[in-house]
Amino acid sequence: MKQQSIQISSNRRSRPKPRGRSPRRTLGSVPALGVLLAVMAGCGGGEQASTPAASGSAGGAATIDQIAAQRELTPDDVRAALLTYQPSGRIDDYVLFASGGHSGQVFVIGMPSMRLLRSIAVFTPEPWQGWGYGVGQDILEQGDVEGKPIRWGDTHHPALSETAGDYDGQWLFINDKANARIAVIDLRDFETKQIIKNPIALNDHGGTMVTPNTDYVIEGGQYATPLGWSYAPLSEYNESYRGMVTFWKFDREKGRIDPQRSFALELPPYWQDIFDAGKLVSEGWVFGNSINTELATGGIESGNAPFEAGASQRDADYLHIIDLKKAEMVFAAGKFEKVKDFPVISLQTCIDEGILFFAPEPKSPHGVDVAPKGDLIVVSGKLDPHVTIYSFEKIKKAIADKKWEPEQYGVPVLDLDAVVEARVEVGLGPLHTQFDDKGYAYTSLFLDTQVTRWTLGGDYSKLHPESAWTVAGKINVHYNVGHIATAEGDTVSPDGRYMVSMNKWSVDRFFTPGPLLPQNFQLIDIAQEGDKMQLLYDMPVGVGEPHYAQIIKADKLKPWNVYPQVGWDPHSQQVKADAPTAGKERIERDGNTVNVYMTAVRSHYNPEHVEVNEGDHVVWHITNVDRAQDATHGFAIPVYDINLSLEPGETATFEFTADQPGVFTYYCTEFCSALHLEMTGYLLVKPSQTALAQ
């Protein structure tokens, strides 16, 4: 095959020097009040602010000057404060859903305040929500690997559900890279409803992007292995190891992934990375990148080149181009094999049916992002200072004209010059790209620790007719940025306004809490044109390692204030027929099984005494019958590892064997009322006759 190459930069891997603050002109040296009022007037979108000084109070002006001087605040500092400050009771304009990294959870953050609103329990037990400590075990068990409990996750890429390519605020999906799992979160109550374990893959990375109407949740693999977790020696890497991408069919009516209507594609044993779904003109297509087309297998302990070097030798890796509509038809026709009882369209079938194509891409890519109109695909290579922009129209033409040559596994590799629209030199270590509403794209630079703003061409050039495909500006971030997120920047209609830089290092930004430092989310104002971007806020994230985020308008989310009815089961999202209700509390014994039907209301449980025998199997049903917003009740039993969070109207059932005799006080773990200490009761586990005799 004729070798196709693209321009590559030298690989600079030096650690960036922490950037101290440049000389500052503080408000202590300028008329503070005038600056404040000017900034307030120029913020836009908010209400006119007022201060005692604005109404003529000299004391107010002096206080502002003193604070500014003491804290060495610049006019930019004040502007940042005004743009991010949320008075008590004012709701943020946007909500950021961020992966929780090694916590296995999802973080919910208000913007622009950057306040943490909630951590959604997903793959890891979380006691505040009772997740895995009385409820949620059945969902956590869905992610077990052949019966082996897995109780942590490495969450990477959250994806909001979409309708016509725009966020609809109904569902959220998140992947677990460590164990190749996908979770479904219902945004009516922000709780996990389903966990799916991929039956053919051990790891994933290119998930969980969704197709424009959330018909499919995309899960791309990462490191090549034998599909189905079978064994093969590394000497058989080329023959026995494979990559994969799975298309999980989402049933919106049921709010669940349907494995019976899902399928995977077998891919060559390159390491697949990020995937993104086409939209508008490219709807029905999926794009993904790959690394290690060298087929390196490492082995530094045996004198071989380490993966870092071995997987970075070629001039280019391969952009994966997938015709999803054609894959659906092939799946529907039954042209697949089964691995671990899961349908997989073989690599040869993908080639024969015209499902899979490649195009050369910058070496070691770590980003593939589809522009808002679906017409351009932006790819970044970590070892190339450029972003490479592919034209979907040119891709279709190259496929139609058969302008390709097969690579070693027979996959057609499209001619590079036939599919590339442009290249833009953005800086060192480009990773990920997001978009705004003004025709700009933003690319993170890991090595330069910057974000570059550049102008799109093509149909977007009317917004910048004199400067298409050029760098408009850069902003320093702190430090080593990975992903970035702009407001609704993954949709057909980005908002612009804000960007969040998700930085891996926070050297010199915060108090040092020991050698393990927090990550740093930095909020950046991108509402102004050209090179006018401003860093507004640093948010330390003391859980590693948050990876990616999506930002949605807050008014698109319609969460419940309380559950719709008393006795509501959050797992099935309907009233549970046997849920305890007020006046129907009771304790029932059937042999060695004891059913407890309890209600919780401020400020007591009913019943307050529960007596069982050692060895009894206890099935405890409890309903929070309060209907007031935020009237949450906890329920904890010591020794038995039980802790629940019961929101208004919620019912829950947990089970345990009373194998430890004694007296156990159960109590409300929430400060739910002034008499919360009195909201308690006794569980008495009567010793067996054998124990009594001793």
Tell me the average pLDDT across 327-337: 98
For position 52, what pLDDT does the model report? Answer: 42
User: Is residue 80 classed exposed, middle or buried when 0-12, 13-18 and 19+ CB atoms within 10 A define those classes?
Assistant: buried
**Which residues lie closer than 8 Å to 325 by C-beta, 6 or more apart?**
284
Quick: pLDDT tens for 345-378.
999 999 999 999 999 999 999 989 999 999 999 9
For position 16, what pLDDT does the model report? Answer: 44
Angle, CA of 75, 80 and 81, to the nearest 5°: 95
Amino acid at 652: A
Residue, of 2 and 106, whose pLDDT is higher = 106
For position 110, what pLDDT does the model report? Answer: 98
pLDDT band at 62 (very low <50, low <70, confident <90, very high): low
Is pLDDT above 80 for 6?
no
User: Positive or negative CA dihedral for 264, 267, 270, 272?
Assistant: negative
**Mean of all residue pLDDT scores within the chain:** 91
pLDDT band at 286 (very low <50, low <70, confident <90, very high): very high
Percent of the chain with pLDDT over 90: 84
Q: Is pTM beyond 0.95 here?
A: no
Quick: pLDDT tens for 411-431.
999 999 999 999 999 999 999
Amino acid at 317: D
> Topology of 568-693 in CATH?
Immunoglobulin-like (2.60.40)
Please state the domain extents for the chain: 27-84, 94-556, 568-693
Length in residues, the chain: 694
For position 251, what pLDDT does the model report? Answer: 98
For position 508, what pLDDT does the model report? Answer: 95
Alpha helix (H) residue ranges in 466-619: none
For position 458, what pLDDT does the model report? Answer: 85
For position 31, what pLDDT does the model report? Answer: 54
Which CATH number is 94-556 given? Answer: 2.130.10.10
Is pLDDT above 80 for 106?
yes
Same fold? 94-556, 568-693: no
Please give the Cα distance from 634 to 679 (Å, whole number).
10
Please give the Cα distance from 250 to 209 (Å, whole number).
12
Is pLDDT above 50 for 4?
no
Tell me the average pLDDT across 224-236: 96
For position 55, what pLDDT does the model report? Answer: 39
Please give the Cα distance from 174 to 101 (Å, whole number).
11
For position 469, what pLDDT does the model report? Answer: 96
For position 34, what pLDDT does the model report? Answer: 57
> With contact defined as beta carbons under 8 Å apart, do 540 and 506 qualify?
yes
